[in-house]
Structure 1
Amino acid sequence: MTAFVAPEEFTTRPTLEGTFGMSASTHWIATATSQAVLERGGNAFDAATASAFVLHVVEPHLNGPAGDMTGLFATAEDPSTPVVMMGQGAAPAGATIEHFASLGLELVPGAGALAAAIPAAVDAWLLLLQEHGTWELSDVLDFAIHYAEAGHPVLARTVGQIKAVKGLFVEHWPTSAELWMPDGRVPEPGELIRNPEYAQVLRDLVAAGGADSTREERIEAARHEWRTGRVARLAAEFIRMPHRHSDGGDYAGVMTEEDFAGSSARFDEAATIEFRGYTIAKVGAWSQGPILLEALRILDGFDDERLDPSTEIGAHTIIEALKLAMADRDVHFGDNDLDLADLLSDEYIAQRRALIGDTASAEFRPGAPGGREGHLPPLVTAEEFAAKFGGDTTASGGGEPTVPGASGGAASVAKAFAGGSGHMFAVTEAEAGADGSGAVRGDTCHIDVVDRWGNMISATPSGGWLQSSPTIPGLGFSLGTRLQMTWLDEASGQPLTPGRRPRTTLSPTLILKDGRPVIALGTPGGDQQDQWQLALVLRLLVGGYEPQQAIDAPALHTTAMAGSFWPRTWTPAGVVVEDRLGDDVIAGLEARGHVVTRAGDWALGRLSAVTRDPATGLMTAGANPRGAQGYAVGR
């Protein structure tokens, strides 16, 4: 008998059930694309790849071809081995701390080509298709080519993002204005928009393979074309011209054709723990994925009643565990020598668990796993940043955060770079159609797929947003901004270093039981990704919720960490909650010292999940109703 509060009888949608296949994503067209591939005999990897390229087209404010991605999958042939898709590019050779300092920068800008890591997402999807898919590349890309050429109805939130950066486009990024503001105007929600230049990029990838070669050789040729062909040449040429960045300065990018050619996606070993009879698999510590592993290890030492996000004691305990894990992230995680065996050891976890008391901590408390001291990041509140540079910083320029910190009012959205240029590349409440929280409904995408053979994948594409840097002429997309995860400080655990990957926030999850994959899940949300997933995992594995019940349940997260996105502020003891958590629970959290921001009833999280019972073949799926955009489909 679970100690959790029973889920509400009402859910926004049913939990889907079936035995053929399930797909879920952050956009209904991508979900439908994935399911269409399954219906035509493709496997989960064919389906996810087709869906991912469609997301480049239909969610351009949330991801793009020159962005980043991480994924986790398990195959029917080797179900006990979760595998990481490494689609996170490294810093270019010219991206040095010395160069950025010579420009007078103290932080990597949140938008502009200086912040671009080498694009690796497309190569990662092609690698997956090459090694584990069954379809021809031409068939997989046909869906995205269709929507790019024939058009798709533009989302209200995409329109909101374009409207928010209209002045930037017109004054500083004319190539972006040409693509996203045809005839000089912002499109209307639901209007068909097209991107023929990106369609041609995809056609070039297909054409790179010869008719006499094998399927795998044709995909390898497409990978080579992506890294060494027209994309690399046009991107490198274009960003040599100085352009406006999120701090108000005009700089040239540093990425070269050689950077493109020398980068390649790969598969990595997953990081795992055991929790309540399940194996939880995450991307390694070059991502923020082990946050979830550390938090679960800490919480595993408490009784079930302290693991329920819907109660005061549960919410308090979960938030305190997350603050400890996030502090370790900010000090120790990165493309470095951190040993996860030390971070997740019984001894270290017991030390961290002992720090959780009855009241909220307002301190930044990293540990020293294996004696590793690390280096504290700058801890600057939004008020301190605004006092130094001017402007409102409750939403970050070019980054992924979806809600403001506790200092922000309901309609408060950042409006100025340091230096007062008047843009922060964020959507205002009115423009984005956000609820009363002032939340910015944009950041990242997510895909979950399971097929009838037992293949399962969870993937989180992001970066290369339409607002991240100027559109590259001839390509129809822009470069990403993932280098803002790094610090311009050699002593940092995450310094900007050529050839080293930035510590990404992209963090899908795969869960196994008895050596077989049973749940794939994830969400957009920047620093909130593993926080929202933690509540979902606890409700599924401990509370016994069905997927849609767990996704619909009220969400919460802490803002008491060094933000991953420019201007990288933090809110000591900060907690953001959905109002549906309840007045009594919220008042109890405040009495314990948490600084609570109410985000509205349906404001936090864009979670989705698919499941499969290996014994029966029964599958389920659920998707986030918030924002009326994500959907699950299956049968």
Structure 2
Amino acid sequence: MRGRTLFTTRPELTGDFGMVASTHWLASATGMGVLERGGNAFDAAVAAGFVLQVAEPHLNGPGGEVPILLWSQEEERVSVVCGQGVAPAAATIDRFTGLGLDVVPGTGLLAATVPGAFGGWMAMLERWGTWTLADVLEPAIHYATHGVPVLDRIAATVSSVERLFLEDWPTSAATWLPHGKVPGAKLTNPVLAATYRRLVSEAGAASSTREGQIAAARDAWYRGFVAEAIAAFSTGTAWRDSSGEAHSGLLTGDDLAGWSASVEDPVTFDYHGHTVCKTGPWGQGPVFLQQLALLSGFDLDGMGQLSADYVHTVIESAKLAFADREAWYGDTEVPMADLLDDEYNAKRRAFIGAEAGVELRPGAPGGRTPRLPVFPAPGTVSTAPGISGVRSGVGEPTVGSDGSTRGDTCHLDVVDRHGNMVSATPSGGWLQSSPTIPELGFCLGTRAQMFWLQEGLPASLRPGTRPRTTLSPSFALRDGKPWLAFGTPGGDQQDQWSVNFFLSVVHGGLNLQEAVDAPMFHSEHFPSSFYPRGSRPGVMHVENRVDPAVVAELRRRGHRVEVQGPWTLGRLSAVARDGDFLKAAANPRGAQGYAAGR
């Protein structure tokens, strides 16, 4: 496919001033507006990130989290900002099992971790940005006050939980069912707007400097009026969750006050002249790198993109890499160097044969003995409020079992004229995940559902640790120079769809938009990170734009192929620095992602 010009739904944007790509046009327009008014990529990303909370409340919210990968041109390095909060001090396995639970509920207050998104955005703004708190929050305040267009997926999500809201979560009904009905053309959130206005006011009263105001806002969020409302609601109220029972939460003011966003070095892997950067193994990010380590021993160029050999090899590599994720990843000491070691991957590569693998087969890095959790039965179906009938293993909780993009997470990428770049994947705090805190206009997240209630695992529930999140922004250098910021929503599929996109550019010779538009595929072989944690061994999804002869051959090799609609898998966006030009592309699936630039 290298060298061919393919039909694309949109052009690859090219310019030299700035580029923004995201999962919603309002966020992309907001980010571009910041660049036009002199802000840098970090200012633009923060402003766009807060707009995403208002424009896509079924996909992310102020109570959620955000991991960020960024390139600072001044520092000439890639950094990871970890806006992923931790489990409360009271969140022990005994506490949950004492309630008769064997998995953390997928909805409600028990699954809350410290909401890290605000701290993550503020950490980036303070260290690398130039704009004030008031400036970056102004667009989100505007949209929360005056309203955003109601996407079909917002209406569908609210409809799916309408009965739950009316019968069990009245504070959510007050916010998301205006006048007692599913929202129509426009949706406002005046309480959230008031929360952000108060943050700006208190910050301005506390300091006259940009940095002082950011610090004051962070203090108000984690130790002031926001923290007080969160703690009172969490520990002082009880609500029905996906266990079917009513539970209060465990998150306290001390949990919030004791947390702050961190800045870390990325985990990296060199592949065909490219250095790919990911978060640490407290998230699933390095599973991207493990797939590349396995694929480096195959001739993907010779196979041809989207051939049966190509798809089979990529899928089988994903199965092995994600098996290691299950056995080894978590907020603890992870043998990452051994997992990426050439000798280790040569041995692992030998398991990829002509037929589809049927086992979940983790490796033994450095001679260590792997231990897998005790998983729920394969094919488990969720009965969580709002997602009844959705098989686990498909994506985040509002992704349909057919792969349709009814929701999950957000993503945004920015590059500015100075060469700064950002890749961020905000998520959590979905409107459907937990009851709305009436004083604040948002709900807590449910990321603790990714912990295991089994002792001795890297991802076991432990107070003060980060859940093994699926959120996975990506960054790549080419020949040692900053090149590509990219990512996608999609839960467990993020580090499959992103790998497909990357391989399409590196091996297929496609431009960014061609690679976004190219037919997608993924495996559902390994257990889901989401409640109720089931799996679908041997199952893979492909868009029906993949050659039917390829599908037939994959089935002959033992893959359980489920063919999806032509534009249903993946929601990639990307920006790049390519020679003298800046470039961008965004996903056409779902008809809401856009790129902007000049």
TM-score range, shorter chain: over 0.9
Provide the rounded CA distance (Å) in 2 between the counterparts of 1:452 and 1:516: 15
Q: Does 1:199 align with 2:193?
A: yes
Residue 621 of structure 1 is matched in structure 2 by 584
Provide the rounded CA distance (Å) in 1 between the counterparts of 2:98 and 2:311: 45
Quickly say closer, same or farther: Cα 1:293–1:476, change in 2 above 3 A. Answer: same
Residue 469 of structure 1 is matched in structure 2 by 434
Q: Does 1:222 align with 2:222?
A: no
Structure 2 residue ranges without an equivalent (≥5)? none
Alpha carbons 2:396, 2:407 under 8 Å: kept = no
Residue 142 of structure 1 is matched in structure 2 by 138
> SS in structure 1 opposite 2:156?
helix
Residue 256 of structure 2 is matched in structure 1 by 260
Letter matched to residue 148 of structure 2? H
Q: Does 1:40 align with 2:37?
A: yes
Residue 536 of structure 1 is matched in structure 2 by 501
1:500-558 Cα deviation digits (max 9, x unpaired)? 10000000000112333110000000000010000100011122100000000000000
Provide the rounded CA distance (Å) in 2 between the counterparts of 1:7 and 1:230: 57
Letter matched to residue 61 of structure 2? G
Residue 23 of structure 1 is matched in structure 2 by 20
Provide the rounded CA distance (Å) in 1 between the counterparts of 2:423 and 2:233: 34
Residue 443 of structure 1 is matched in structure 2 by 408
Alpha carbons 1:378, 1:562 under 8 Å: kept = no
> Offset of 1:574 from its aligned partner?
1.1
Q: Which moved more, 1:533-542 or 1:461-470?
A: 533-542
Q: Does 1:57 align with 2:20?
A: no
Q: Which moved more, 1:529-538 or 1:304-313?
A: 304-313
Alpha carbons 1:306, 1:314 under 8 Å: kept = no
Match of 2:276 among 266, 280, 291: 280
Provide the rounded CA distance (Å) in 1 between the counterparts of 2:15 and 2:377: 48
Quickly say closer, same or farther: Cα 1:178–1:279, change in 2 above 3 A. Answer: same
> SS in structure 2 opposite 1:328?
helix
Alpha carbons 2:110, 2:247 under 8 Å: kept = yes
1:204-248 Cα deviation digits (max 9, x unpaired)? 221232465321111111111110111111111112211011121
Quickly say closer, same or farther: Cα 1:397–1:364, change in 2 above 3 A. Answer: closer
Residue 470 of structure 2 is matched in structure 1 by 505
Residue 324 of structure 2 is matched in structure 1 by 328
Residue 596 of structure 1 is matched in structure 2 by 561
Match of 1:156 among 124, 129, 152: 152
Alpha carbons 2:394, 2:528 under 8 Å: kept = no
Letter matched to residue 498 of structure 2? Q
Alpha carbons 1:33, 1:51 under 8 Å: kept = yes
Letter matched to residue 629 of structure 1? Q
Quickly say closer, same or farther: Cα 1:135–1:386, change in 2 above 3 A. Answer: closer
Quickly say closer, same or farther: Cα 1:559–1:323, change in 2 above 3 A. Answer: same
Provide the rounded CA distance (Å) in 2 between the counterparts of 1:253 and 1:241: 8
Quickly say closer, same or farther: Cα 1:161–1:310, change in 2 above 3 A. Answer: same
Alpha carbons 1:316, 1:589 under 8 Å: kept = yes
Residue 229 of structure 2 is matched in structure 1 by 234
Q: Does 1:301 align with 2:297?
A: yes
Quickly say closer, same or farther: Cα 1:281–1:384, change in 2 above 3 A. Answer: closer
Q: Does 1:243 align with 2:208?
A: no
Match of 1:374 among 332, 351, 370: 370
Quickly say closer, same or farther: Cα 1:450–1:523, change in 2 above 3 A. Answer: same
Residue 559 of structure 1 is matched in structure 2 by 524
Match of 1:630 among 588, 593, 596: 593
Q: Does 1:339 align with 2:302?
A: no
> Offset of 1:6 from its aligned partner?
6.3
Letter matched to residue 213 of structure 2? R
Question: If the length of structure 1 is used for normalisation, what is the TM-score?
Answer: 0.91
1:123-172 Cα deviation digits (max 9, x unpaired)? 11011001100111111110000000111111110010000000100110
Quickly say closer, same or farther: Cα 1:593–1:396, change in 2 above 3 A. Answer: closer
> Offset of 1:265 from its aligned partner?
0.4
Letter matched to residue 203 of structure 2? G
Letter matched to residue 450 of structure 2? M
Quickly say closer, same or farther: Cα 1:307–1:377, change in 2 above 3 A. Answer: farther
> SS in structure 1 opposite 2:256?
helix
Alpha carbons 1:242, 1:251 under 8 Å: kept = yes
Quickly say closer, same or farther: Cα 1:397–1:478, change in 2 above 3 A. Answer: farther
Residue 67 of structure 1 is matched in structure 2 by 64
Q: Which moved more, 1:296-305 or 1:377-386?
A: 377-386
Regions of 4+ moved over 6 Å:
none
Quickly say closer, same or farther: Cα 1:7–1:158, change in 2 above 3 A. Answer: farther
Alpha carbons 1:460, 1:523 under 8 Å: kept = yes
Alpha carbons 2:393, 2:527 under 8 Å: kept = no
> Offset of 1:578 from its aligned partner?
0.5
Letter matched to residue 313 of structure 1? D
> Offset of 1:381 from its aligned partner?
4.0
Provide the rounded CA distance (Å) in 2 between the counterparts of 1:7 and 1:585: 20
Q: Does 1:131 align with 2:94?
A: no
> SS in structure 2 opposite 1:577?
strand
Residue 576 of structure 2 is matched in structure 1 by 611
1:173-230 Cα deviation digits (max 9, x unpaired)? 0000011101111112xx1211111111111221232465321111111111110111
Provide the rounded CA distance (Å) in 1 between the counterparts of 2:212 and 2:303: 49
Percent of residue pairs identical = 51
Residue 416 of structure 1 is matched in structure 2 by none
Match of 1:181 among 172, 177, 180: 177
> Offset of 1:304 from its aligned partner?
2.6
Structure 1 residue ranges without an equivalent (≥5)? 405-436
> Offset of 1:403 from its aligned partner?
4.2
**Root-mean-square deviation (Å):** 1.8
Quickly say closer, same or farther: Cα 1:585–1:182, change in 2 above 3 A. Answer: same
Provide the rounded CA distance (Å) in 1 between the counterparts of 2:221 and 2:380: 43
Question: If the length of structure 2 is used for normalisation, what is the TM-score?
Answer: 0.96
Quickly say closer, same or farther: Cα 1:109–1:386, change in 2 above 3 A. Answer: closer
Provide the rounded CA distance (Å) in 2 between the counterparts of 1:400 and 1:608: 21
Provide the rounded CA distance (Å) in 1 between the counterparts of 2:354 and 2:128: 49
Alpha carbons 2:408, 2:491 under 8 Å: kept = yes
Alpha carbons 2:195, 2:440 under 8 Å: kept = yes
